[in-house]
């Protein structure tokens, strides 16, 4: 496993779990400095993402959750605030379900209990084989850089070469399988029984994970809500606002 560890803070440990097609650094780097002022943290690269585990087994969210638990045990973190963005949300919930002794609280950002109830989401998952092909092609790399330029905040322009390089570290096959795993996830039957203190960061203009679905998750798990004015890529589009919301959410998790 490859992860980034910041151990100098005084607050509880925070375990950062990134979204689909991202990595620990890609998802969270804009908030590292702000979070380090209050907490210690670990950012994990999930299977097939960034520098994450490579193997021949199909990607499963349950395996990703067990990977996270293994990292926490090896590092001796103890009960921590597990924080998931987008795909990291289901993985965080699965960590709490499968390894409850490791989770003192949850922060769930721009995520949902399921990702296939809307028609546009179901249509999006149909294109997974095409996504893998694009990721393997030079055209995909050029389109990716062009998309980055459009969404990056002005102050992040200098990071473009690094972002583009990090984005090419993924295993295309694993990303396709991860998309399939996300499309089949449904935590509604069991999430209400977790009994874990939680805070939800709701991205109020999110076109990928509708805010209504995010609020449904917050209601079913009994989470306090921190609103963040932004779309799904708000960590790159509005890094300062994202950092403030993340620090506020982590600080609002009741310590138990």
For 17-67, what is each residue's pLDDT tens digit? Answer: 999 999 999 999 999 999 999 999 999 999 999 999 998 889 999 999 999
Please name which of 96, 90, 73, 82 lies closest in space to residue 43, comparing C-alpha atoms. 82
| 172, pLDDT greater than 50 | yes
The predicted pLDDT at position 143 comes to 57
Pairing of strands 3-6, 40-44: antiparallel
pLDDT score of 131: 54
Average pLDDT, integer, range 64-93:
97
pTM, to two decimals: 0.91
Q: What is the 3-state secondary structure (H, E, C) of 152-201?
A: CCHHHHHHHHHHHHHHCCCCHHHHHHHHHHHHCCECCCCHHHCCCCEEEE
pLDDT grade, residue 9 (50/70/90)? Answer: confident
Average pLDDT over residues 64-89: 97
Give the pLDDT of residue 215.
98
pLDDT confidence of residue 216: 97
Alpha-carbon gap, residue 16 to 3, rounded angstroms: 10
Using DSSP, state whether 21 is helix, strand or coil.
coil
Question: Could you tell me which CATH number the domain at 3-252 has?
Answer: 3.40.50.1820
Q: Is the pLDDT of residue 158 over 50?
A: yes
Average pLDDT of the chain to the nearest whole number: 89
The answer to whether the beta carbons of residues 135 and 95 sit under 8 Å apart is: no
Report the C-alpha gap between 16 and 25 in whole angstroms.
10
Pick from 50-59, 127-136, 169-178, 202-211: least confident: 127-136
Task: Identify which has the larger pLDDT, 171 or 148.
Answer: 171
**pLDDT at residue 136, as a whole number:** 52
Domain ranges, ordered by start, for the chain: 3-252
Q: pLDDT tens, 95-146?
A: 999 999 999 999 999 999 999 765 555 445 455 555 545 555 554 556 566 7
Query: In the predicted model, is pLDDT for residue 11 greater than 60?
Result: yes
Has residue 10 got a pLDDT over 90?
no
Q: What is the pLDDT of residue 144?
A: 62
């Amino acid at each position: 496993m490859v992860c980034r560890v910041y151990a100098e803070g005084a607050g509880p440990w925070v375990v950062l779990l990134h979204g689909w097609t991202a990595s620990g650094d890609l998802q969270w780097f804009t908030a590292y400095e702000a979070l380090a002022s209050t907490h210690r943290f670990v950012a994990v690269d999930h299977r097939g993402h960034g520098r994450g585990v490579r193997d021949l087994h199909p990607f499963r969210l349950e395996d990703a959750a067990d990977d996270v638990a293994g990292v926490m045990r090896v590092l001796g973190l103890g009960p921590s605030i597990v924080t998931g963005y987008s795909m990291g949300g289901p993985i965080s919930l699965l960590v709490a379900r499968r390894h409850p002794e490791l989770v003192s609280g949850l922060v769930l950002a721009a995520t949902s209990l399921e990702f296939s109830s809307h028609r546009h989401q179901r249509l999006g998952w149909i294109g997974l084989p095409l996504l893998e092909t694009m990721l393997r092609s030079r055209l995909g790399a050029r389109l990716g850089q062009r998309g980055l330029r459009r969404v990056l905040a002005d102050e992040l322009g200098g990071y473009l070469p690094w972002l583009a390089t990090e984005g090419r570290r993924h295993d295309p096959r694993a990303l396709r399988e991860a998309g399939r795993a996300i499309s089949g996830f449904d935590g509604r039957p069991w999430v209400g029984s977790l009994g874990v203190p939680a805070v939800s960061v709701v991205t109020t203009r999110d076109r990928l994970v509708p805010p209504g679905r995010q609020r449904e998750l917050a209601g079913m798990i009994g989470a306090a809500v921190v609103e963040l004015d932004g779309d799904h890529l708000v960590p790159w589009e509005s890094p300062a606002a994202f950092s403030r919301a993340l620090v506020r959410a982590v600080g609002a998790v009741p310590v138990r």
